[in-house]
Structure 1
Amino acid sequence: MSSLSIVIPAYNEAGAIGTVLERVLALGPAFREVGLEEWEVIVVDDGSRDRTAEEAASYPGVRLIRHPVNRGYGAALKTGFAHARGEWLAFLDADATYPPEALPMLYQIAQSTAADLVVGSRMSGRDSEMPTVRRVGNWIFAALLRVLGSAAISDSASGMRVLRRSALERLYPLPDGLNFTPAMSARAVYENIRMVEVPIPYRERMGQSKLHPLRDGLRFLHAIVWTVMTYNPVRVLGLTGFGLGMIGLALAGSAVLWPGSTGWPFPRLFAAVILMALGLHLFAVGALFNYLVSLFHKRPIRQGLFGRPLLRRPLEQCFLPMGLLGIALGIALYGWATLAGLTAPSSPAPWFVPAVSALAVVMGVDLITAGLLVRALSELSRRELQIQRDLAPDPTATAPTARPVIEAPTPLSS
């Protein structure tokens, strides 16, 4: 029989906690309708300085756990999860913004879809009183996670969820602050957690909000980007490098189309070359990081930059020839410029071609080094699988025919 633990983190919510608990405690009939007979309510008072703990303690059947000092939203949730008895875990805020009446529906959807995590989405078209600044911020974070994680998520920071307890081991570690939920969403994407979003209404909170848009927005951004970096670094570094390369190409195009009255704008062209080289370098570093994190996670290498493999051939087979080509182009460019007199002191920019050729050679060496490291890491990532394959018996091999054992005759005693 399934059981559910509802965890409510609370910090200075004396004015709203009573309303929330009354609505949660009235859910018994609705839970029984969806087949849930065992459920409990846990309030984690996170070092409140008002009467939040006393209000929660006045409701029979509510388990109250207190932090002596304020440790953060995520820390309160983790404390509640550690003390929960249910096979399923649910949580919502204590400020009356989320509708407790939606919990039976979220639980039922988790059961019917075999999901590990069901998220109440405030951004999916249902009635919402979310302030504009927070709505825009949530849209940005959801879009960022869609780009970096290739997951169609509408509300990465929702504070109302139902999840399977067994999924915690794959979702942890999670931060202690308000960035707990976006970090959970990002980890769920990369840990292949079965996640479902359900539209829910959202109301303006009772009392003063504890969310600081700029400070907590930066924390949300850090939680998403850093989580992606620990699973698929090339998505972050590669997209950054791709953006720099596009800026470099645009700068080079502007220099060719609109050179100005002074002739070739060599500084602008050199800046374009630098940006394109930096973009290629970031992609190479991201690919190396991908092999490192995949070696740690013991999972297949992620090469996707736009949700699918970027290169048809393995990276170790592409970096080496690209590096050799870069070195050859750098040397050839310098030789041609010398023969053409472009490096002479009387030329308009004698420094330009030598600088570009040197940069091409350096990038070529960089790519060759990256290719060698990627090849070594690729072999290391396949080593454990290869060991298992070598130790396993060959199913296609024919077993040798057993020969009768002939015992030597016992020698006669003299």
Structure 2
Amino acid sequence: MTTLSVVIPAYNEEDGIAAIVERILAIKPDLAKVGVDGLECIVVDDGSQDRTAEIVQSYGERVRLIRQQNKGYGGALKTGFAAAQGELLGFLDADSTYPPEYFPKMCEIALDGADLVIGSRMAGAHSEMPIVRRIGNTIFATMLSVVAGVRISDSASGQRILRRSILPRIYPLPNTLDFTPAMSTRALHENLKIVETPIPYKERSGRSKLHVVRDGLRFTKSIVWTALTYNPVRIFGGVGLLTLILAFLILIGQLGGQLAGLLDQWSFPQLFGALVLAVAGITLYTTGTTFSYVVALFHRDPIRQGLFGPRGNGRRIEGHYWWLGFLSILIGVGVYVAAVIFNLTDPSLAASWFAPVLSALLVLTGVQLVSAWALARVLAELSRRDSEKQADLKWAEEVAAVAVQQA
């Protein structure tokens, strides 16, 4: 017997809680048609100061009421999940903005093998979402798609179905409104099977509890920091790559100006800026790859993803850091020796500082690359040893179990 537990977080929702409860209770026959025999409706009253709890109590045993001090949207959902009895967990808001009539279809998708089913408000169904929030949701979905390497259209949808069994993999989750984008980010990086299905969306009457700027910043922070705990190279590497591109564009601009006769001489401040940006970009990228090995060791799982694709498709450029580093050091030393030989460090020259600075930056970049290579090798070896240790322990347990059976 499969049961769906629907959790409704409620805070001062006396005007709408009865309507959404009635709609949820009405979907029980449709749930049975797709193989879900039981329905549990749970309302978590998150410190309401109106008649929300009183209205829910009037439904008797048909609806479970859980009352708690205000813990926030995510906190209310986690309380509901902990109390739920169903193998499938669903949730939606108490203001009738999301359609519970779509739960049977979402359950059917979950029973077909999906770990997380997201009702997408951005996938083509009718939506009354205000333009500002639509733009914001598009930005967040694009951001999540970039950092996770998997396309998703609605990272913050508040109507979902998930299997109870995935909770240990997606926890911890925040108590605040960024609960849903954090869930999406963790689920994607845990390689769970996520399916989006279009749902209509109705804008709530009255004032929304969502603050565009404050919660937008919170959503961004949640996506970025969660991604960093799984795949640092996507963040650090992406920023480092943009920095390197900017440095390249400055150099191209200088070279093009010289060839076109638009510049009489090289702009050394711009060249210096380009060099600093290039070094910063390389540092950020090597930091990201190193962090990826730390994360893999922490999770005891080779979950590292590359900058250019999902897990398994990353370009392991860190294996080349050692010779790139030594080459950079040699070039840096060569630049300084050449500058001394050709007297380019003469204080009377307008740009006498340039060659020594270029030499120093190249040498430091080389040291950074060699150090990152060595650290990556050490962390990879530690990860390998840990995997072999776990395999040996499992093998020993299996041998011991066989010996007990034969005794």
2:360 is matched with 358
Residues 322 and 364 in structure 1, CA contact (< 8 A), matched pair in contact too: yes
Helix, strand or coil: the match of 2:266?
Answer: coil
Which deviates more from structure 2 when the two are superposed, residues 84-93 or residues 57-66? 57-66
CA distance in 1, matches of 2:229, 2:52: 38
Is this contact kept in 2: 1:341–1:347, CA < 8 A?
no
Unaligned runs of 5+ in 2: 397-407
Aligned-residue offset at 1:19: 1.1
The CA distance in 2 between the partners of 1:310 and 1:170, in whole Å, is 23
Which residue in the other structure is 1:143 paired with?
A: 142
* CA-CA distance at 1:48 after TM superposition: 1.4
Counterpart-to-counterpart distance in 1, 2:212 and 2:82: 30
SS in 1 for 2:290: helix
Unpaired stretches in structure 1, ≥5 consecutive residues: 394-414
Shift of 1:35: 2.2
Question: What does residue range 12-411 of structure 1 map to in structure 2 within 5 Å?
Answer: 12-60=12-60, 61-68=62-69, 70-111=70-111, 113-258=112-257, 263-300=265-302, 302-307=304-309, 309-311=313-315, 315=318, 317-387=319-389
1:17-73 Cα deviation digits (max 9, x unpaired):
1111111111122122222221110000111122222222222311111112x2110
Shift of 1:251: 1.3
Q: TM-score, normalised by structure 2?
A: 0.92
- Identity rate of aligned residues, in percent? 53
The amino acid that maps onto 2:63 is: V
Distance 1:44 1:381 in 2: 43
- The alpha carbon displacement at 1:389 in A equals 6.5
1:257 CA drift (Å): 2.2
| Inter-CA distance 94–382: structure 2 relative to 1 (3 Å threshold) | same
Distance in 1 (CA, whole Å) between partners of 2:316 and 2:139 is: 32
Q: How many pairs were matched up?
A: 389
Q: Per residue, is there more helix in 1 or in 2?
A: 2
Indicate conservation of the 8 Å contact 2:300/2:387, yes or no.
no
* Aligned-partner Cα distance in 2 for 1:206–1:38: 31
Deviations 1:79-101 (Å, cap 9, x if unpaired)? 00011011110000001100111
1:168 CA drift (Å): 0.6
Secondary structure at the residue paired with 2:106? Answer: helix
In structure 1, the residue matched to 2:400 is: none
Contact 1:74 1:176 in 2 (8 A): yes
Deviation at 1:150, TM superposition (A): 1.0
* Cα distance in 1 between the residues matched to 2:63 and 2:285: 52
Q: Is the 8 A contact 1:291 1:301 kept in 2?
A: no
**1:196 alignment partner, SS class:** strand
In structure 2, C-alpha distance between the alignment counterparts of 1:355 and 1:44, rounded to whole Å = 63
Distance between the aligned counterparts of 1:388 and 1:92, measured in 2? 41
**Is the CA contact (8 Å cut-off) linking 2:257 and 2:263 kept in structure 1?**
no
Query: Is the 1:15–1:207 contact (alpha carbons within 8 Å) kept by the matching residues of 2?
Result: no
Deviation at 1:261, TM superposition (A): 5.4
On the 8 A contact 1:252/1:269 being kept in 2, the answer is yes
